[in-house]
Amino acid sequence: MRVERARELGLCYGVRRAVDMVREAVPDHGSLQTLGPLAHNHILLAELAAQDITAVSTPEEVTGSAVVVSAHGVPPHTVREFSERGITVIDTTCPIVAHAQRVVADMAKEGLTIVIFGDANHSEVRGLLGWSGSRGIATLDLPSLGDRDALFLGARVGIVSQTTQRIEDFTSFVQSATVEVLASGREVRAVNTLCDATRRRQAAAAELAREVDAMIVIGGRNSANTRRLAESCAAIVETHLVESPSEIQVALFKGKRCVGLTAGASTPDSSIDMIESRLLQL
């Protein structure tokens, strides 16, 4: 069986940068706590834990003199609160997320109601909501007709996206929302805050999925971008989302001549190497 890697896969620029920044900073602090996991991947988190870099869930749990903000970013008040407690913030917010935060903050300053196309429970979206002051709403669906007034509160509406959403989904959301907002006599402004790394990984995965008998998507099941990669591949060919080599079962690959590999933006190189080796042993 042949195993082929997608031409772009695995750790994105933002997560790789965050991991490098934290690994560089840890010798100065002895150990470090990150607010939330640095990436949604158990293997990467175990590698970091071995270097005394561990995650806490809430700002109150931070006990050291420094804290790491992940690539997903945080609301501005979280950074302020750490400063007030005398805690140094090592800010690894991805520059692409930081751009989305600036767009949202500017829209809020101009008085727009901001609709964030994204998962309201995702840490990046919670951060963006913080940058919107009290002017933001996060949603993945246009609400039912009766609730739309609540969504499009202001005279002017700004629309942005969680960076890791699919361009097709964002485009269709913007089209439907724009029709609604314009029909009600209000103004709308949409800004593309999507991450190109995600789009390029998705394009490379889809291209490979069309050429192989099955796809393996490597990454955490709790990673939104990994799950979306798996959904895109599954629409084209048989696809399996796996986190560790132990999930690679011979029966799954019976009769397959070529298997494609891709990996989410938080999947470390070590995971990809281990799963590729396991596949080549089948």
- DSSP string computed for 88-124: EEEE---HHHHHHHHHHHHHHHTT-EEEEES-TTSHH
Phi and psi, residue 86, nearest 5°: 75, 20
Judged by CB, which is closer to ligand SF4: 13, or 213?
Answer: 13
Shortest distance, position 249 Cβ to ligand SF4, whole Å:
30
Instruction: State yes or no: is 124 an active-site residue.
Output: yes
- The answer to whether the CB of 101 falls within 8 A of the CB of 93 is yes
Interstrand relation of 32-35 and 66-69 (parallel, antiparallel or unpaired): parallel
Q: Which residues pair with 218 in a beta bridge?
A: 242, 263
Judged by CB, which is closer to ligand SF4: 96, or 159?
Answer: 96
d(CA 255, CA 157): 53
Shortest distance, position 143 Cβ to ligand SF4, whole Å:
27
Judged by CB, which is closer to ligand SF4: 34, or 198?
Answer: 198
Shortest distance, position 39 Cβ to ligand SF4, whole Å:
9
Shortest distance, position 270 Cβ to ligand SF4, whole Å:
18
User: What one-letter code names the amino acid at 235?
Assistant: A
Of 47, 124, 180, 243, the catalytic one is 124
Residues in contact with ligand SF4 by the rule CB under 6 A? 12-15, 71, 94, 96-97, 163-164, 195, 197-198, 225, 265
Judged by CB, which is closer to ligand SF4: 113, or 225?
Answer: 225
Active site residues: 124
